[in-house]
C-alpha cells in the first residue's frame, strides 16, 4: 500500500518550492529542522522531484528499519529504497559476515557503479540507498579493485574456461555442483552456470568451443529456463565480485600475514594461523572479511562509489554524531580487550573527522538538526518546518474525533486517516453521520481476506492512494504510519492536509507490514548432491551403513553403476543406481556416529519388528478415541466475519506463504462438523502463535470459549500479553490462570469461565484442575503438548472427542510425529522463516567476560534485548553485579522461579 498521492499536497506549498530552488544554488542548504513525522514525506517528495542518485544517512542501526518501513508507504511505485547492510560482527570482532550482509553490500555497490563502469549501463531509475553510521564508516573494497574484479560477458565473446573459473574464484564466488544461491557458479562440460551477486536470477552460459553461443536466465529451484520480460535469452551479463575481501588479494597477502604471525609468535595468533592455509590457497573462507583492513592499504568507502550528481541526505546530525561516537568507543574497547591483536593493526572503520570533512564537501541536506553552531537562526531559514503542525491527540476517545472530523469537513479541509482499524473507524463515521454524500465522501481501501479475497467496503475503493483526494473529503487508508501531521500553507494559513494515524487516534501505532520476498525452494538435484562419500545412510532392508560413493561394475558384459555401502566387519553392499530410492541419509540427534549393522544379522530385522509392534499398540490405543471423533458431530464454525478480516489486516507483519496455507487449513477444519485435531509444527518465531490467535478469535466470533494450555508460567504470560495487545480493539475478554494470579483472582476467573464472561483463557496445568468448567468451550489450543504429564494428557484425550483441538510444537516427539505422518492426526508445517529473520548463530566457548560483553553490546547497539540464562538461583545476584560492572549503560533485571508472583510478573511485563 502506498500513499504517495499525498505528496501532491506539497506542490501548493511555497516553502517546498523555495527548498528545491535552494538545492540548485551553490550555497549549502541550512538544516530543515523538520519533525520526525514529516521527514519521510519530504524525502519522498524530494526523490520524486529531483530524480538523482540519493543516499540517506542515519545514526543507529534500528533507525534504518524504521525509515525503510516509512518510505515503503511514501515512495512512488517507480522508486525503491535499497539498504546498505552493516557487517555482522562489531569492529575488531573476529567473526564471519552473514550472507545477507555480504551480498546486500555488494548489490548496493553494483547499483551505484551503473553508469560509472565503462561496461555497466546506467539504470532507468537512479539508485536510492539508506544506510546507518555503522555501515557507512566500514572500510571496503577500493573502487578500482571493484572495477577490475567485475566481468561483463556477451554472446559471441571468446573466453578461456579455466581462466574464467579461476577469476571467479578469486572474486569470491563458490564453485558448486548445483547453483542455488547468489555467489555460486558451476561448470558441466561446455555449460557454465553463474548466479551474479547483483542479479535476480542465475544465468546459464552455453559454449560452442570457446565462444559464448547463448545465455539465458534459469530458475534455481527447477534448473529450467526462465522467462524474464517475455524472454529467457540475454545478450550480456554483469558479474561483480562476490566478496569485499577478495580471495585473490588475500592470496597475495598470505606471505605478509605469515611474517606477522612469526613476529608475534604463532601461539599469540592461533586463529590467524588456522586461516593462513586458506589465504595461501586463495579460498573464500568465512572469516575472510576480518582481514579486510590489512588487504587494502588504501581502502574504499561508500563515498568513493557515489556518482558526481548524488544527493546526500542526513536524518539528524547530532544523532549521527552520537552513533559515531558510540561506535568508536565500542571499537576501542574491543581492540583494547584483544591482547592478541598485533600492533598497528588498522581500524576496520574510518575516523569520523576525515569522513565528516568529505561528507560536508557534498553539501548534504539535513532533515533534522544540524551541527553545533550551525543553527538555522544564524543562516537564511527556509521555513519548511513551520508548515508542519502535530496532529491532535484523542487517546482512543472516539467522540472528540468524530466532532473534529465534522468541523474539518465543514471547513472544506482534506482529511486522510491511515489506520490499522480503518474499517471500524469508517463504520463509526457512517453511524455518526448517517450519510455518504459527496460532501463527506468516504474512500475506503479494499481489505482483502487473505484466502477468500472477500472485500469489506467498496465505496470508492482505492488499491493505491496515488492521487491527492479533493478538499472536503475524508479518506480512510488501511495501513500503518508512525505519526501524522497537519500541513499548513503559512502565507494564508490554509490547511493543505490533515493526516491522522493510530498514534494520534489511539495513542499507539503498529508498523507497516514487511514486504515479503518469497524464498526459493531447493533444487531437486540438491537432495542427491547432499549425500556424499563418507555419509551414513539407512537401507530399507539392510540397515545403517557407510556410503563409499558411486562405482561402475561390469555385469554380464554391461557396465552398470552401483552405490557402494560399507557395513560392520568389512561387509560390502552394491546397490543398483535405480534402487537409490531405498536409501536415506542417516540423521541423528547428535554428532556421534551411529552403530553400523552387519549384513545378514537379525538386529535390523528385530528393530523394525519392534517398531512395527509399537505402531500396532499405538493404533489400538487410538482406535477408540478417533472412532468416537468420527461419530460425534462437533461445532461447525461459520465463515470469517468482518471483524475477523479486520483483525488479520491489523497483523503488523507480512505473513509467509506457509502461514497463509496453515491458517487456511485450520479454518477449513473449524468450519467442518467433525472435531478438529491438527498439529502445527514450526520453528520458534515462525508464526505459530499468530495462527493460534486467529483460530481463537474465529471461535469467539461464534460465541465459543477458547482454552490455551501452555507448559510454563512465563510462556503463559507471554501469550497473555500477545493476545491482550492484538485483541484490545475488540470486545473480547482474555484472562490468564497461573501462579501470577492470587487466589481471589483465580476464583473470579473460574467463575467467569462458568458464566461465559471469559472468552479466552490462557493457563498452565491449572486449566486441567477439576474445578475448571466452561459454559461453552469450542476450541482448545495446546502449546508443546509433549511437556505435559500422563494425567494431563488423559484430560486432553477427553477434550479431543468433544471440541476442536489445535496443538503447536517446535519439537514434536516421535509418537506425535508418527501419528501425524500416518494420517491419524492432521499436520501443518511452517518451515519458512519470516522476512528479515536472520539465522541463529551458536557459539560455544569457555567463560569469557570479553566475549560476553561483546555479544551483549552487539545486541544493544541494534536496539535489541538480551536474555541471559544462569544455572543457579543462589549465585544469580553475583552474576547480576558482574554484569552491572561490565556493562554499566545497560538496564538489567533478575527473574527466577523463586521470586514472588507479583515481582516476577512486573519484570516480565
**DSSP 8-state code for residue 36:** G
**Cα separations (Å) of 502 from 41, 419, 430, 480, 485?**
17, 5, 19, 8, 12
Find the angle CA(107)-CA(176)-CA(293) to the nearest 5 degrees.
45
pLDDT category, 887, cuts 50, 70, 90? confident
Q: Which CATH architecture has domain 526-599?
A: Beta Barrel (2.40)
| Alpha-carbon gap, residue 338 to 137, rounded angstroms | 21
Residue 777 has what pLDDT? 92
Overall CATH class of domain 632-830: alpha beta
- Joined grid coordinates for residue 725: 495487545
Burial of 819 (0-12, 13-18, 19+ CB in 10 A): buried
Q: Which residue has the cell 468482518?
A: 642
| Same fold across 151-239 and 526-599 | no
Contact status, residue 90 vs residue 330, Cβ threshold 8 Å: yes
Please state, for a pLDDT cut of 90, what percent of the chain lies above it: 38
pLDDT tens by residue, 643-666: 888 788 777 777 888 888 999 999
Find the angle CA(311)-CA(314)-CA(317) to the nearest 5 degrees.
145
Contact status, residue 348 vs residue 91, Cβ threshold 8 Å: yes
Burial of 794 (0-12, 13-18, 19+ CB in 10 A): exposed
- Joined grid coordinates for residue 638: 461459520
In the beta sheet, which residues pair with residue 831?
none
Please state, for a pLDDT cut of 70, what percent of the chain lies above it: 83
Contact status, residue 92 vs residue 289, Cβ threshold 8 Å: no
Find the angle CA(640)-CA(641)-CA(646) to the nearest 5 degrees.
100
Contact status, residue 256 vs residue 265, Cβ threshold 8 Å: no
CA-based end-to-end distance of the chain = 33
The residue with greater pLDDT, 449 or 323, is 323
Contact status, residue 256 vs residue 227, Cβ threshold 8 Å: no
- Joined grid coordinates for residue 99: 550472507
Contact status, residue 463 vs residue 469, Cβ threshold 8 Å: no
The CATH fold of domain 151-239: Penicillin-binding protein 1b fold (3.30.2060)
Mean pLDDT of 229-237: 83
Residue 507 has what pLDDT? 79
Residue 847 has what pLDDT? 74
| Chain-centroid distance, C-alpha 390 | 32
For the cut 70, the answer to whether the pLDDT of residue 314 exceeds it is yes
Burial of 101 (0-12, 13-18, 19+ CB in 10 A): buried
**Cα separations (Å) of 875 from 847, 880, 892?**
16, 9, 16
Contact status, residue 287 vs residue 340, Cβ threshold 8 Å: no
Q: Which residues contact 871 (CB under 8 A, 6 or more apart)?
A: none
| Alpha-carbon gap, residue 75 to 71, rounded angstroms | 6
Residue 786 has what pLDDT? 64
pLDDT tens by residue, 580-621: 777 888 876 566 788 888 888 888 888 778 877 876 776 676
**DSSP 8-state code for residue 87:** P
Q: Which residues contact 158 (CB under 8 A, 6 or more apart)?
A: 210, 211, 212
- Angle in degrees, 0-180, between the axes of helices 901-908 and 713-726, rounded to the nearest 10: 50
Contact status, residue 723 vs residue 654, Cβ threshold 8 Å: no
Mean pLDDT of 704-732: 89
| Alpha-carbon gap, residue 3 to 236, rounded angstroms | 37
Q: What's the predicted TM-score (pTM) here? A: 0.69
Q: How many residues does the chain have?
A: 909
Q: Which residue has the cell 476450541?
A: 779
Q: Which residues of 657-668 are buried (b: 16+ CB within 10 A; e: fewer)?
A: ebbbbbbebbbe
What is the biggest distance separating any 2 CA atoms in the chain, rounded to whole angstroms?
99
| Alpha-carbon gap, residue 811 to 821, rounded angstroms | 15
For the cut 80, the answer to whether the pLDDT of residue 688 exceeds it is yes
Give the residue from 868, 905, 897 showing the smallest Cα distance to 736: 905
Q: What stretches of 308-421 show up as alpha helix (H) in DSSP? A: 317-336, 352-361, 398-410
| Alpha-carbon gap, residue 111 to 775, rounded angstroms | 62
Q: Which residue has the cell 550482509?
A: 101
CB atoms closer than 10 angstroms to residue 835:
16
Q: What stretches of 232-291 show up as alpha helix (H) in DSSP? A: 247-263, 270-281
CATH of range 4-143+285-385; options 3.40.50.620, 2.80.10.50, 3.40.50.11180, 3.40.50.880: 3.40.50.11180
- The radius of gyration of the chain's CA atoms, rounded to the nearest angstrom, is 32
pLDDT category, 525, cuts 50, 70, 90? very low
Q: Where are the domains of the chain?
A: 4-143+285-385, 151-239, 410-505, 526-599, 632-830, 849-908
| Alpha-carbon gap, residue 860 to 692, rounded angstroms | 31
| Alpha-carbon gap, residue 569 to 841, rounded angstroms | 39
| Alpha-carbon gap, residue 23 to 134, rounded angstroms | 27
For the cut 90, the answer to whether the pLDDT of residue 485 exceeds it is yes
Min mean pLDDT across 78-87, 300-309, 320-329, 381-390 is at 381-390
In the beta sheet, which residues pair with residue 228?
231
For the cut 50, the answer to whether the pLDDT of residue 888 exceeds it is yes
Min mean pLDDT across 257-271, 347-361, 551-565 is at 257-271
Residue 816 has what pLDDT? 53
pLDDT category, 59, cuts 50, 70, 90? very high
Amino acid at each position: 500500500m502506498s500513499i504517495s498521492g499525498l505528496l501532491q499536497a506539497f506542490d501548493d506549498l511555497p516553502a517546498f518550492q523555495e527548498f528545491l530552488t535552494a538545492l540548485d544554488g551553490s550555497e549549502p542548504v541550512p538544516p530543515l529542522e523538520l519533525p520526525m513525522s514529516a521527514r519521510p514525506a519530504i524525502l519522498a517528495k524530494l526523490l520524486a522531484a529531483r530524480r538523482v542518485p540519493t543516499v540517506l544517512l542515519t545514526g543507529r542501526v534500528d533507525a534504518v528499519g524504521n525509515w525503510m518501513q516509512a518510505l515503503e508507504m511514501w515512495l512512488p511505485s517507480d522508486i525503491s529504497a535499497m539498504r546498505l547492510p552493516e557487517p555482522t560482527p562489531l569492529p575488531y570482532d573476529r567473526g564471519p559476515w552473514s550472507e545477507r550482509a555480504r551480498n546486500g553490500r555488494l548489490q548496493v555497490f553494483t547499483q551505484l557503479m551503473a553508469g560509472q563502469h565503462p561496461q555497466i549501463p546506467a539504470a532507468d531509475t537512479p539508485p536510492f540507498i539508506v544506510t546507518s553510521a555503522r555501515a557507512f564508516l566500514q572500510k571496503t573494497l577500493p573502487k578500482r579493485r571493484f572495477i577490475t574484479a567485475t566481468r561483463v560477458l556477451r554472446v559471441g565473446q571468446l573466453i578461456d574456461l579455466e581462466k574464467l573459473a579461476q577469476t571467479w574464484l578469486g572474486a569470491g564466488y563458490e564453485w558448486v555442483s548445483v547453483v542455488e544461491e547468489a555467489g555460486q557458479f558451476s561448470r558441466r562440460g561446455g555449460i557454465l552456470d553463474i548466479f551474479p551477486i547483483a542479479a535476480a536470477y542465475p544465468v546459464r552460459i552455453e559454449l560452442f568451443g570457446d565462444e559464448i553461443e547463448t545465455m539465458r536466465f534459469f530458475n534455481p529451484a527447477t534448473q529450467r529456463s526462465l522467462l524474464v520480460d517475455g524472454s529467457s535469452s540475454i545478450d550480456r551479463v554483469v558479474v561483480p565480485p562476490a566478496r569485499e575481501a577478495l580471495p585473490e588479494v588475500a592470496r597475495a597477502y598470505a606471505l605478509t600475514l605469515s611474517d606477522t604471525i612469526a613476529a608475534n609468535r604463532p601461539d599469540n595468533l592461533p586463529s590467524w594461523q588456522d586461516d593462513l592455509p586458506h589465504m595461501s590457497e586463495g579460498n573464500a573462507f568465512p572469516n575472510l572479511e576480518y582481514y579486510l583492513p590489512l588487504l587494502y592499504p588504501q581502502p574504499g568507502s561508500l563515498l568513493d562509489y557515489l556518482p558526481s550528481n548524488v544527493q546526500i541526505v542526513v536524518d539528524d546530525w547530532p544523532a549521527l554524531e552520537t552513533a559515531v561516537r558510540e561506535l568508536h568507543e565500542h571499537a576501542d574497547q574491543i581492540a583494547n580487550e584483544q591482547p592478541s591483536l598485533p600492533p598497528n593493526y588498522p581500524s576496520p572503520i574510518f575516523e569520523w573527522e576525515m569522513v565528516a570533512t568529505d561528507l560536508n564537501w557534498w553539501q548534504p541536506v539535513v532533515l533534522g538538526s544540524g551541527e553545533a553552531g550551525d543553527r538555522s537562526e544564524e543562516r537564511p531559514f527556509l521555513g519548511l518546518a513551520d508548515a508542519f503542525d502535530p496532529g491532535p491527540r484523542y487517546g482512543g476517545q472516539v467522540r472528540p474525533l468524530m466532532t473534529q472530523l465534522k468541523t474539518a469537513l465543514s471547513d472544506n479541509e482534506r482529511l486522510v486517516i491511515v489506520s490499522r482499524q480503518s474499517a471500524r473507524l469508517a463504520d463509526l463515521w457512517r453511524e455518526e453521520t448517517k450519510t455518504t454524500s459527496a460532501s463527506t465522501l468516504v474512500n475506503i481501501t479494499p481489505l482483502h481476506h487473505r484466502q477468500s479475497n472477500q472485500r469489506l467496503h467498496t465505496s470508492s475503493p482505492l488499491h493505491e492512494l496515488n492521487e491527492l483526494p479533493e478538499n472536503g473529503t475524508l479518506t480512510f487508508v488501511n495501513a500503518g504510519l508512525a505519526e501524522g501531521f497537519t500541513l499548513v500553507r503559512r502565507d494564508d494559513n490554509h490547511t493543505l492536509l490533515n493526516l491522522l494515524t493510530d498514534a494520534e487516534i489511539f495513542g499507539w501505532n503498529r508498523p507497516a507490514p514487511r514486504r515479503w520476498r518469497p524464498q526459493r525452494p531447493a533444487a531437486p538435484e540438491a537432495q542427491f548432491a547432499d549425500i556424499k562419500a563418507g555419509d551414513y545412510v539407512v537401507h530399507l532392508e539392510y540397515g545403517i551403513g557407510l556410503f563409499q560413493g558411486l562405482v561402475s561394475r561390469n555385469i554380464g558384459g554391461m557396465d552398470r553403476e552401483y552405490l557402494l555401502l560399507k557395513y560392520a566387519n568389512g561387509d560390502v553392499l552394491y546397490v543398483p543406481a535405480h534402487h537409490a530410492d531405498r536409501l536415506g541419509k542417516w540423521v541423528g540427534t547428535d554428532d556421534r556416529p551411529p552403530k553400523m549393522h552387519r549384513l545378514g544379522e537379525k538386529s535390523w530385522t528385530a528393530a523394525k519388528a519392534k517398531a512395527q509392534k509399537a505402531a500396532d499398540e499405538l493404533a489400538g490405543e487410538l482406535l477408540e478415541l478417533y472412532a468416537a471423533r468420527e461419530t460425534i458431530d462437533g461445532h461447525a464454525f461459520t465463515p470469517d466475519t468482518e471483524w475477523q478480516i479486520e483483525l488479520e489486516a491489523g497483523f503488523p507483519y507480512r505473513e509467509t506463504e506457509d502461514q497463509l496455507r496453515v491458517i487456511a487449513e485450520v479454518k477449513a477444519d473449524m468450519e467442518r462438523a467433525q472435531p478438529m485435531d491438527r498439529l502445527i509444527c514450526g520453528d520458534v518465531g515462525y508464526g505459530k502463535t499468530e495462527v493460534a490467535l486467529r483460530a481463537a478469535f474465529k471461535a469467539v466470533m461464534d460465541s465459543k470459549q477458547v482454552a490455551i494450555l501452555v507448559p510454563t508460567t512465563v510462556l503463559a504470560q507471554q501469550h497473555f500479553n500477545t493476545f491482550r495487545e492484538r485483541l484490545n480493539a475488540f470486545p473480547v475478554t482474555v484472562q490468564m490462570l497461573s501462579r501470577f494470579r492470587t487466589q481471589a483472582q483465580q476464583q473470579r476467573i473460574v467463575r467467569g469461565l462458568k458464566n461465559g464472561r471469559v472468552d479466552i483463557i490462557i493457563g498452565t496445568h491449572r486449566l486441567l484442575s477439576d474445578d475448571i468448567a466452561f459454559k461453552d468451550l469450542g476450541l482448545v489450543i495446546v502449546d508443546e503438548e509433549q511437556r505435559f504429564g500422563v494425567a494431563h494428557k488423559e484430560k486432553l484425550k477427553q477434550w479431543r472427542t468433544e471440541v476442536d483441538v489445535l496443538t503447536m510444537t517446535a519439537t514434536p516427539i516421535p509418537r506425535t510425529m508418527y501419528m501425524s505422518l500416518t494420517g491419524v492426526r492432521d499436520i501443518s508445517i511452517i518451515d519458512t522463516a519470516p522476512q528479515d529473520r536472520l539465522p541463529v548463530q551458536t557459539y560455544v566457548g569457555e567463560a569469557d567476560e570479553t566475549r560476553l560483553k561483546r555479544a551483549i553490546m552487539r545486541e544493544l547497539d541494534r536496539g535489541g534485548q538480551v536474555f541471559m540464562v544462569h544455572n543457579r538461583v543462589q549465585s544469580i545476584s553475583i552474576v547480576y553485579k558482574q554484569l552491572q560492572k561490565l556493562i554499566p549503560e545497560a538496564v538489567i533485571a533478575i527473574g527466577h522461579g523463586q521470586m514472588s508472583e507479583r515481582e516476577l510478573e512486573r519484570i516480565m511485563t
